Structure 1
Amino acid sequence: MATVYEPAAPPAGPAAEPQQQQVQASKQPQSRLQYFKPHDGYALGCPNPPCFEERLTTAQGIHKSMELRDGELESTLRLACKVFDVETATVSLLTGERIYLVGACGALPVCVCPDRWGFCGWSFLNPNHELNVVENMMEDARFSENFFVVNENFRLVFYVMAPLISSNGHRIGTLCIMGQQPRKFDATRGAILANLSELLVRQIERRWALQGSQRVQGSKLMRSVEAYEAACGFIDASNVNKWRLLHLNAPAVELLGIEWTASYDELAKLDEGRHMAAFEGMPLEQVLDVDMGLATWQAAQAELALTNVKGAKGTPAEGKCFNVTFKLATSDSLDEHAPFSVGVPSWLRESSDPGPGHNYFFMHLRPVELGSPRQPPLHHGSGLQYGPRLMGPSPIPNLVLGPLLGKGGFGKVYRGVHQGAEVAVKIIEKLESVRVTRAGMPIEVAMTQNFHHLGVLRSIAWGIGLPDPAVAEISPALAKPTCWIVSEYCDKHTLVDAVVKGWFRTSRQPTHGGTHLRCVALTAYEVASALAYIHSQGVMHLDLTGGNVLLTSFAGNPHGFSAKVTDFGLARPQDVRVRSAPGRYGTVTHMAPETIRDGVLDYACDAYAFGVLCWEMITGSRAWAGLSHEAVLAQVGGEGSLELPMGLPPVLEELLTACLAKDPAARPTFKQMLPRLEAYLQFTRHCALEEVTLPMASPAGLE
Structure 2
Amino acid sequence: MSELNAHSMTTSSGSSVLSRDVASSEPFKLQVHELGCSRPPCEDERALTMEVLGICNPLPDPDPELESILKITNSIFGTPTATITLLKGGSGGEDPHDVVYVKDGDGCARGDYPWRWAFCTWITQTGPTPKTLVVPDAEKDARFSDNPHVVGENPWIKAYAGAPLVASNGHRLGTLCVCDNKARDFDAGQCAILNNLSEMVVRHLEKEQLLKIKQSDNEALKFAYKRIERALDCFENCVVLLDTSVPGFKIVYANEAWDTLIGLARDKITGHTLTEVFEDSMGLELPSAKHRLAADAGQDFAVVRAVVKGSSLQKLMYLKFRPASSEQLDEGAIPIGVPRHMTVTKQTDAKHLYFMAVHDLAAHRSASSTSSTRRSSRMTSASFGLQRDEENEVEGLIVGRLIGRGSYGSVYSGDWFGSSVAVKVIENPVGRRISQAVGLEVSMSTDLRHPHIVATLKSWTRVLDSNMRPLNSKKSSGIDVDNLLTIRPLKKGCEDNSPTAAQSEAQPASTVDHLSQPPPTSSDFGKFSSNQACDMFDAAAGSLQAANQEDPAWPVISMSNLATCDTSSWLDHQEVQDVSVSGHVVQLPGSVPQQYDSQSLSTPLDAFHQGPLGESGCIQTWMIMEFCDRGCLQDALDRGWLLDHCSCVTGRPRMEAVMGLAFQISSALQYLHSENVMHGDLSAWNILLTSVGAGSNSCGVNFMAKVADFGLARDITDKIQTQTYGTITHQPPETLLTGTVSKAVDVYAFGVLMWQLYTGSQPWRGFTHAQIMLKVTSGNDRLRFPLCTPIEYEDLALACMAFNAEDRPTFDVICEILKNMQV
- Give the TM-score taking structure 1 as reference length: 0.83
Match of 1:693 in 2: none
Given the alignment, which residue of 307, 314, 320 partners 2:315?
320
2:705 and 2:440 map into 1 onto residues whose CA distance is 22
**What is the CA-CA distance between 1:332 and the residue it aligns to?**
2.6
**What is the CA-CA distance between 1:70 and the residue it aligns to?**
4.7
Distance 1:576 1:79, change over 3 A: farther
Is 1:452 equivalent to 2:449 in the alignment?
yes
Given the alignment, which residue of 637, 659, 681 partners 1:521?
659
Equivalences, count: 630
2:56 and 2:305 map into 1 onto residues whose CA distance is 37
CA offsets 1:44-88 (integer angstroms, 9 cap, x no match): 100111111111221233244889995211110111112222221
Given the alignment, which residue of 549, 562, 567 partners 2:687?
549
Partner amino acid, structure 1, of 2:243:
D
The answer to whether the 8 Å contact 1:164/1:197 transfers is yes
Is 1:94 equivalent to 2:87 in the alignment?
yes
Is 1:352 equivalent to 2:349 in the alignment?
no
Identity, in percent, stands at 32
**What is the CA-CA distance between 1:323 and the residue it aligns to?**
1.4
Distance 1:615 1:65, change over 3 A: closer
The answer to whether the 8 Å contact 1:464/1:481 transfers is yes
Q: List aligned pairs for 1:50-449, cutoff 5 A.
A: 50-64=41-55, 70-96=63-89, 97-106=98-107, 108-125=108-125, 126-210=127-211, 211-212=213-214, 213=218, 216-217=222-223, 219-221=225-227, 223-239=230-246, 241-260=247-266, 281-289=271-279, 290-299=285-294, 301-313=298-310, 319-338=314-333, 340-353=334-347, 356-357=350-351, 359-368=352-361, 370=363, 372-373=365-366, 375=368, 388-389=386-387, 392-432=390-430, 442-449=439-446
Is 1:504 equivalent to 2:642 in the alignment?
yes
Q: List aligned pairs for 1:616-695, cutoff 5 A.
A: 616-638=756-778, 639-682=780-823
The answer to whether the 8 Å contact 1:287/1:311 transfers is yes
**What is the CA-CA distance between 1:441 and the residue it aligns to?**
7.4
Given the alignment, which residue of 461, 464, 478 partners 1:464?
461
CA offsets 1:624-674 (integer angstroms, 9 cap, x no match): 001111211111111221111102222102101101111112211111011
CA offsets 1:204-236 (integer angstroms, 9 cap, x no match): 111233313366435432634211221111111
**What is the CA-CA distance between 1:157 and the residue it aligns to?**
0.6
* Segment drifting more, 427-436 vs 144-153: 427-436
**What is the CA-CA distance between 1:110 and the residue it aligns to?**
1.7
**What is the CA-CA distance between 1:364 and the residue it aligns to?**
0.8
1:326 and 1:435 map into 2 onto residues whose CA distance is 41
2:641 and 2:432 map into 1 onto residues whose CA distance is 35
Give the secondary structure class of the aligned counterpart of 1:482. strand
Partner amino acid, structure 1, of 2:253:
H
Match of 1:4 in 2: none
1:57 and 1:436 map into 2 onto residues whose CA distance is 34
1:234 and 1:58 map into 2 onto residues whose CA distance is 29
CA offsets 1:547-589 (integer angstroms, 9 cap, x no match): 00000112333211100000000011114753123xx511111
Distance 1:71 1:646, change over 3 A: same
Match of 2:673 in 1: 535
Match of 1:692 in 2: none
The answer to whether the 8 Å contact 2:123/2:174 transfers is no
Give the secondary structure class of the aligned counterpart of 2:350. helix
Partner amino acid, structure 2, of 1:72:
E
The answer to whether the 8 Å contact 1:444/1:569 transfers is yes
* Segment drifting more, 597-606 vs 66-75: 66-75
**What is the CA-CA distance between 1:321 and the residue it aligns to?**
2.9
The answer to whether the 8 Å contact 1:71/1:261 transfers is no
Give the secondary structure class of the aligned counterpart of 1:632. helix
Partner amino acid, structure 2, of 1:255:
L
**What is the CA-CA distance between 1:424 and the residue it aligns to?**
0.6
Partner amino acid, structure 2, of 1:206:
K
Distance 1:56 1:25, change over 3 A: farther
Match of 1:6 in 2: none
Is 1:36 equivalent to 2:29 in the alignment?
no
**What is the CA-CA distance between 1:429 and the residue it aligns to?**
2.2
Partner amino acid, structure 2, of 1:228:
F
Partner amino acid, structure 2, of 1:605:
V
The answer to whether the 8 Å contact 1:194/1:342 transfers is yes
The answer to whether the 8 Å contact 1:65/1:208 transfers is no
1:250 and 1:69 map into 2 onto residues whose CA distance is 16
The answer to whether the 8 Å contact 2:466/2:616 transfers is no
Partner amino acid, structure 1, of 2:200:
L
Give the secondary structure class of the aligned counterpart of 1:514. coil
Distance 1:492 1:65, change over 3 A: closer
**What is the CA-CA distance between 1:255 and the residue it aligns to?**
2.3
2:432 and 2:158 map into 1 onto residues whose CA distance is 43
Distance 1:576 1:443, change over 3 A: farther
Distance 1:371 1:193, change over 3 A: closer
* Segment drifting more, 345-354 vs 654-663: 345-354
1:48 and 1:81 map into 2 onto residues whose CA distance is 29
Distance 1:331 1:375, change over 3 A: farther
Distance 1:261 1:40, change over 3 A: farther
**What is the CA-CA distance between 1:351 and the residue it aligns to?**
3.6
**What is the CA-CA distance between 1:342 and the residue it aligns to?**
0.2
Distance 1:128 1:595, change over 3 A: same
1:570 and 1:432 map into 2 onto residues whose CA distance is 19
**What is the CA-CA distance between 1:190 and the residue it aligns to?**
1.3
**What is the CA-CA distance between 1:104 and the residue it aligns to?**
1.0
2:23 and 2:166 map into 1 onto residues whose CA distance is 34
Given the alignment, which residue of 626, 639, 644 partners 1:488?
626
**What is the CA-CA distance between 1:251 and the residue it aligns to?**
1.2
The answer to whether the 8 Å contact 1:391/1:466 transfers is no
1:119 and 1:188 map into 2 onto residues whose CA distance is 21
**What is the CA-CA distance between 1:150 and the residue it aligns to?**
2.1
